[in-house]
Structure 1
């Protein structure tokens, strides 16, 4: 076993994992999930999204979820996804210190995902930065490794886009494999390139597991010095506006692998696995349309 190294694992299940479940999950069940994650040692969580309930009905209770969690867990690193200035203002009003704002590298996906051109999204990001300068903003670069409409992007396109966002004062980025088409060499090359071009910035990754490449791509990012890796309990999730996108990399599988390799996640694997199993049992019908990857035996 290698010498223990710390790695920041960011759980995005309460938002990305739940956002397109076919049935609405009541607030009490969302809070029970977040409680369980916190008790298992997860300290970095994306807990909701301040979006229109018409677009994402599952997030209709975002304010209640955020308010309750911020009161219960003031020491935890809690944040939300916001698509616009209004969402960012809501997050700050509730007491959040940081948010994620998603913009696609692909123009086509940006229009499908948030009904804006990329230029319009950058303008909205500029308004967020100008209006709420004390709010930390991480830009999630969707389709950073591939788009369902435009294919694989050129490396220079990624560098140019990160440069545009960087000029707006953003210093935290998450490169997202929105439809799960990346490979380890691409992940290493992209991450190495952006880290070299923007040494004052931090880069995370968000990897989908559509083709069973989630673990190896996430590991490639870690070995290239990613500042954090995102995953969801049970591998739930996927972009509702990206054809063919299935679930995310499963948190419990990732924690198991990283612990074997000597990484310190700060997470209790046994508690995490029990939570994944109990949550799956509690809402079995909601999993039918998702790529689910819950380890039934930690030896497998």
Structure 2
């Protein structure tokens, strides 16, 4: 019984990048590599490895080049985030062929994040996306603050849709639409993703929920009802955003996989192996793992 929902869902694991970027203590590079390889061993076929950002602003990602050099393989879509031309130039020097770019719907959030307005960011990114597509890259567009902004409050759905449209017209292969501060309600999730599915039927559509108010699973279920079959999640519920005050971690991969499998939706993710991956990084984190599945089952995993 699948309640009319998708029969299969793709999980995009963002723990190594979005999950670790806000960690206060530097996670050793070798630990990150082992974490990534264990996540892939659990069956995750799309993974955000790292990001090419300034080590001055995000020290955790200072080892990006080494991570990419050692963790690429032909069995997974390995994604690297780059916020600007400088970051893209660094990605092009590697063998990675999938790039994530990001822009906030909210101007204030975007300014605090990358010191550009949304309009300025898109003016820079549109030609870059065109260049990447000409070179055969997969381009993932991450849409931040699609529901609410920590500075401006509620975001108009039409503004989120318009930003998505600009990315689609520029040639993006995927839209990852985020509830950055974890404030969306299920009806808002359903309405926005229903509209996006209708507007952009030929573009991969991914939902990205943070669990700040413990609403991530309900929002994911609402997005499933809207026809979404791709979700960003983070092993252990790791994450947060340094430019979104109060934002908690992402939806925990293990909690999402457990929910989906329980309602008959295939994920191809091995929960026990996933838990082993979380245990690799756990001793190096500045905060405890809070996901429900991990809390209930950690002691049974070797």
Q: TM-score range by the shorter chain?
A: over 0.9
Structure 1's consecutive aligned runs of 4 or more residues displaced over 6 angstroms after TM superposition are none
The answer to whether residue 46 in structure 2 is matched with residue 27 in structure 1 is no
Deviates more, 1:159-168 or 1:190-199: 159-168
Whole-angstrom CA distance in 2 between matches of 1:187 and 1:51? 30
Matches within 5 A, 1:43-192: 43-70=45-72, 73-133=73-133, 134-192=136-194
TM-score (norm 1): 0.92
1:270 aligns with 2:272: yes
3-state SS, counterpart of residue 296 of structure 2: coil
CA distance in 1, matches of 2:173, 2:68: 24
**Any stretches of 5+ residues in structure 2 without a counterpart?**
none
**1:213 matched to 2:211:** no
Question: What is the distance in 1 between the residues matched to 2:86 and 2:224?
Answer: 34
Partner in structure 2 of residue 8 of structure 1: 10
User: In the aligned structure 2, how far is the partner of 1:114 from the partner of 1:292?
Assistant: 29
**Deviation at residue 264 of structure 1 after TM alignment:** 1.1
Match for residue 292 of structure 1?
Answer: 290
Does the aligned pair in 2 maintain the 1:235–1:247 contact within 8 Å?
A: yes
- TM-superposed CA distance for 1:198, in Å, is 2.1
Please state how far the C-alpha of 1:62 moved relative to its aligned partner.
0.2
Partner of 2:253: 251
Give the total of aligned pairs. Answer: 293
The 8 Å contact of residues 247 and 292 in structure 1, kept in 2 or not, is answered as no
**Structure 1 residues 44 and 130 mapped into 2: Cα distance closer, same or farther (>3 Å)?**
closer
Classify the secondary structure of the residue corresponding to 2:251: coil
CA contact (8 A) 2:38 2:276 kept: no
Deviation at 1:99, TM superposition (A): 1.0
Aligned partners of 2:109 and 2:168: how far apart in 1? 21
SS in 2 for 1:264: coil
Q: Which runs of 5+ in 1 are unaligned?
A: none
Alpha-carbon distance change, 278 to 198 in structure 1, aligned in 2, over 3 angstroms: closer
Shift of 1:169: 2.2
Alpha carbon RMSD of aligned pairs, Å? 1.9
Do 2:236 and 2:252's aligned partners in 1 also have CA atoms closer than 8 Å? yes
